[in-house]
Structure 1
Amino acid sequence: MTTAFLQVMLSLAAGIALIVLLTAKYRVHAFFALFLACFVVGLGVQLPVNDIITAMKEGFGNILKSLGFIIVLGTMLGVILEHTGSTQVMAAFILRLVGERFAAAAMGITGFIVGLPIFCDSGYIVLSGLNKSVARRTGISIITMSVSLAAGLYAVHCLIPPHPGATAAAGILGADLGKLILTGITVAILPTIVGCWWAHYAGSKIQAGDNDEVHTSREIPDMPVWKAFLPVLVPIVLIAIGAFSDMEKSASGAGTLFHLLGNPVIALLIGVILAFLSAPAWDRHTTGQLMTEAVEKAGSILVIIGAGGAFGAVLAGTRIGEHFSEALHLGSLGIIFPFLLASLLKTAQGSSTVAIITAASVIQPLLPALGLDSETGRLLCMLALGGGSMMISHANDAYFWVISKFSGLEMKAMLKVYSVATVLMGITTLVIVYVLSLFLL
């Protein structure tokens, strides 16, 4: 068994090293990196090629079957909210609510809410113009404003579906999506606060960027605030009803209806419809363009998620869980091991999505050995992976450069403020999840 364990570990290390090398150094698309890693690991443990391909097909298909519609609808919702200007309306409302004195906190709250349906890089690009104009008006350091906005977007991106990494990892681990969304929102609050606090503390000590620089942004549309928030809040409320009520045991017509509406696919579809209704008028050309854009964005995400599922299926075929449980005492590590693995992968290759999908594929067969093979254990494991995928964001992370370029911030300032903020956010998430595990597991 010692020889078999060593063989599995070397094959796994070779597969992960290939993913990191191809995605980080050679900028190969994550789908192809994960695809090739399946063969490296499978052949490394002497699985027949036909068995490898069969496992890959099954893993790819199972993930897309459970997550495909959620990813497409979540992407569509984000695209529409960007187009209609709803995100800017939400940001302006939050700023008015908290006042200019707490403008940085307002941008963090805006990032948190806008980031629920919109990917962090897209959300940052959409809000960067408003962010710079508020920084100029209030005199608050641009790096404080920028990192506060980035922290809010980043926390929900790493922890909450329908973002691709969290969604895929939930599918791989078998975590309940509805409960993950609601628990993830709750857990993400404190890391966001910590990120905003560090932005204020460290940003006030650094002269970075130029608050007088003019950054062109769209005019804030004349839209009722409730109409802007509705497409985001209604799906969350519906999913909450579906996740935390006892509707499955209810035979009443109302119970069945609410359980149906709480399905994440139906809830997101309702959000998309509400987002469409938030615009005064639509023409066929614009509607077709937006749908095409959403499908193209979702397509790239889906192939990565599918490849992650394929990689996980191949790992399961190596019986890695049995080898780990016999050779190591993983039960003593528990929730810390998923966090450390995701942190290592994130820091090495830069993508939170690739890190969390790869880590989830490795962790899934280890759940029993880690003492996490329960509904609650899978949920907490997913949140630990999300916390690990936050750290450390630096020069190999595309989001790092989105923040830098759209805010006019130099590398040194970004490393001192933003990169450190991601470390603090990740550690904060781990502490929260660890404390929860003491009471719930």
Structure 2
Amino acid sequence: MELQPLLALVIGIAIIIVLIIRTRIDAFIALLLAAIAVGLIAGLPMGATTEAIVTGFGNTLGSIGIVIGLGVMIGKLLEVSGGADSLANAFLRAVGRGRESWAMAGTGSVVSIPVFCDSGYVIMHPLARSLSRTAGKSFVMLALALGAGMTITHHLVPPTPGPLAVAGILDVDLGTLIVAGLLFSIPMVPTVVFYAKWIGPKLDAEVDAEVRRKVDEGESAPTTDGGGTATQTETRAEPTTTTTAAPGALRAFLPLLVPLILIVGNTVTEAVAPEAGFAEVAAFLGDPVVALIIGALIAIYALVPAATGRKQVQSWLGAGAASAGLIILITGAGGALGEVLRESGVGDALAEAVLDLAIPAYLIPFLVATLVRFAQGSGTVAMITGASLTAPLLGTLGLDPTLAALGILVGSIFFSYYNDSYFWVVTKFTGLEGTAALKGWSGITTALWAVGFICLTIASFVL
């Protein structure tokens, strides 16, 4: 076994973690610096290292960059039109009184498919506050159920950027990953509800007095800059368009539902009727780029009121695209690191080392993503790093790409705490600090990770 390639990998991972945690450098630059270090330490010539970085970056974004951009545009229009609020109210009506925690978890799971969970939680949090007042339910229970529901699909179901990036890096069929992610979500939603019901009432007394006052009086709640610093913001469930008429729940759901149906429909057609006359049409419409273009058009013309000006709509779309910029760069940098790992032989050396371990192959990507998540906090970075490290191993390990992707997505959920920006969003809005925050939010994310591991183990017998 060659030690030089493995040393290069260890140093590369250490660079990523140290730079993100201890310096001002963000994940995009950290991944690129790690790719350079891995290539040079592993013995790849300087010119070949930079060539691999450019090739990996371009190949990854060629398959996934457009899809990420379109996905966040749909999410932005769902946010500003009040469609997210309509979906939440529909869930409340559907589950009925006494099942408010189910409504919150379900709402979070649906809304977070296209909307970043950080912004989604800021938008939807007023529902937890108002529901706590009107229904007399535990505020912490409802807030945790909403936030954790968003975590589920944010980590498991494309077109959320992290799962999209994993699908692109590992070359996994997107429709298959959507179906698998939704299946994994099924046992996770009850996990959220039961944990929130158990821990929420215990922590209500721990809620910060100022937040409690605002919950009781219906005032604004603190937001956070991602580093734990609270500021004041007016967050409302009302739509932020020029009209107060939010779209109905069905219209709000269409920009999400139609692309998912088209993508999954193509996957089903390829599996059961690849030679059928409509297979070519299904493949075209079910291509993620085309499907999400259709979803974006539906969002523009079905969610946004006709009276809204063209410049206003374009500014919203621009804001959505801008929010996708960094995640697209991080995704490309992850692909660059993966290409360097392949070209330098680090992937092959890691595969040899892994084969010597007495653990099932499907646990490798799961453990990699878990460790990266714990070390640096970002679930998306954990997904991209895990996929980049796993991609060169798939052939040697004989591991199904879909199973590897699921292992990475589940591992990235592990133990959200102080180094995760979403930890601060949820805990500051909920008014939890110290051990109460760890019991509530860190505990519920770890419970999801554990249930996901069980699902992954079951899936390993099928895939």
TM-score range, shorter chain: over 0.9
Q: Which residue of the partner structure matches residue 236 of structure 2?
A: 217
Offset of 1:27 from its aligned partner? Answer: 4.1
Deviations 1:118-159, CA, capped at 9 Å, x for gaps:
111111111011221112222222221111111111111111
Q: Which residue of the partner structure matches residue 166 of structure 2?
A: 169
Offset of 1:237 from its aligned partner? Answer: 1.3
Counterpart residue identity of residue 331, structure 2: I
Offset of 1:264 from its aligned partner? Answer: 1.4
Deviations 1:334-358, CA, capped at 9 Å, x for gaps:
1111111111100110001111111
Distance 1:37 1:101, change over 3 A: same
The yes-or-no answer on 1:244 pairing with 2:271 is no
Counterpart residue identity of residue 407, structure 2: A
Offset of 1:378 from its aligned partner? Answer: 0.5
Q: Which residue of the partner structure matches residue 320 of structure 1?
A: 346
Task: Measure the CA separation in 2 of the matches of 1:336 and 1:141.
Answer: 37
Q: Which residue of the partner structure matches residue 365 of structure 2?
A: 338
Q: Which residue of the partner structure matches residue 432 of structure 1?
A: 455
Tell me the number of residue pairs that the alignment of Structure 1 and Structure 2 aligns.
432
Counterpart residue identity of residue 319, structure 2: E
Distance 1:245 1:251, change over 3 A: closer
Determine if contact 1:404/1:411 at 8 Å carries over to the other structure. Answer: no
Decide which of 292, 313, 317 is 1:287's aligned counterpart. 313
Task: Measure the CA separation in 1 of the matches of 2:237 and 2:248.
Answer: 17
The yes-or-no answer on 1:41 pairing with 2:65 is no
The yes-or-no answer on 1:231 pairing with 2:255 is yes
Percent of matched pairs sharing the same residue? 40
Counterpart residue identity of residue 430, structure 2: S
Decide which of 118, 121, 141 is 1:121's aligned counterpart. 118
Q: Which residue of the partner structure matches residue 79 of structure 2?
A: 82
Distance 1:102 1:283, change over 3 A: same
Deviations 1:308-338, CA, capped at 9 Å, x for gaps:
0101111112212322343442584211111
State the SS of the aligned residue for 1:212: helix
Counterpart residue identity of residue 433, structure 1: L
State the SS of the aligned residue for 2:206: coil
Distance 1:348 1:326, change over 3 A: closer
Matches within 5 A, 1:124-135: 124-135=121-132
Decide which of 23, 29, 52 is 2:26's aligned counterpart. 29
Q: Does 22-31 or 342-351 show the bigger shift?
A: 22-31
Task: Measure the CA separation in 2 of the matches of 1:42 and 1:224.
Answer: 53
Task: Measure the CA separation in 1 of the matches of 2:446 and 2:328.
Answer: 28
Task: Measure the CA separation in 2 of the matches of 1:145 and 1:74.
Answer: 27
Decide which of 157, 162, 166 is 1:160's aligned counterpart. 157
Offset of 1:251 from its aligned partner? Answer: 4.9
Q: Which residue of the partner structure matches residue 364 of structure 1?
A: 391
Deviations 1:375-406, CA, capped at 9 Å, x for gaps:
xx110110110010000100100000111222
Q: Which residue of the partner structure matches residue 399 of structure 1?
A: 422
Q: Which residue of the partner structure matches residue 384 of structure 1?
A: 407
Offset of 1:411 from its aligned partner? Answer: 3.2
Offset of 1:176 from its aligned partner? Answer: 0.8
Decide which of 439, 442, 456 is 1:419's aligned counterpart. 442
State the SS of the aligned residue for 1:392: coil
Q: Which residue of the partner structure matches residue 12 of structure 2?
A: 15
Q: Over the residues paired in the alignment, what is the CA RMSD in angstroms?
A: 1.7
Distance 1:326 1:412, change over 3 A: closer
Deviations 1:179-226, CA, capped at 9 Å, x for gaps:
111211111221232122111111122223224152351436443221
Offset of 1:60 from its aligned partner? Answer: 0.2
Extract structure 1 runs of 4+ deviating beyond 4 A.
none
State the SS of the aligned residue for 2:113: coil
Q: Does 50-59 or 25-34 show the bigger shift?
A: 25-34
Matches within 5 A, 1:50-61: 50-61=47-58
Decide which of 65, 90, 97 is 1:93's aligned counterpart. 90
Structure 2-normalised TM-score? 0.89
The yes-or-no answer on 1:208 pairing with 2:206 is yes
Q: Does 354-363 or 239-248 show the bigger shift?
A: 239-248
Deviations 1:75-99, CA, capped at 9 Å, x for gaps:
1000010010100000011111112
Decide which of 153, 178, 184 is 1:181's aligned counterpart. 178
Task: Measure the CA separation in 1 of the matches of 2:262 and 2:408.
Answer: 26
Consecutive unaligned residues of structure 1, counting only runs of 5 or more, are: none
Determine if contact 2:335/2:388 at 8 Å carries over to the other structure. Answer: yes
Structure 1-normalised TM-score? 0.94
Determine if contact 2:6/2:349 at 8 Å carries over to the other structure. Answer: no
Offset of 1:67 from its aligned partner? Answer: 0.3
Determine if contact 2:113/2:157 at 8 Å carries over to the other structure. Answer: yes
Q: Which residue of the partner structure matches residue 231 of structure 2?
A: none
Decide which of 323, 326, 329 is 1:297's aligned counterpart. 323
Task: Measure the CA separation in 2 of the matches of 1:114 and 1:331.
Answer: 40
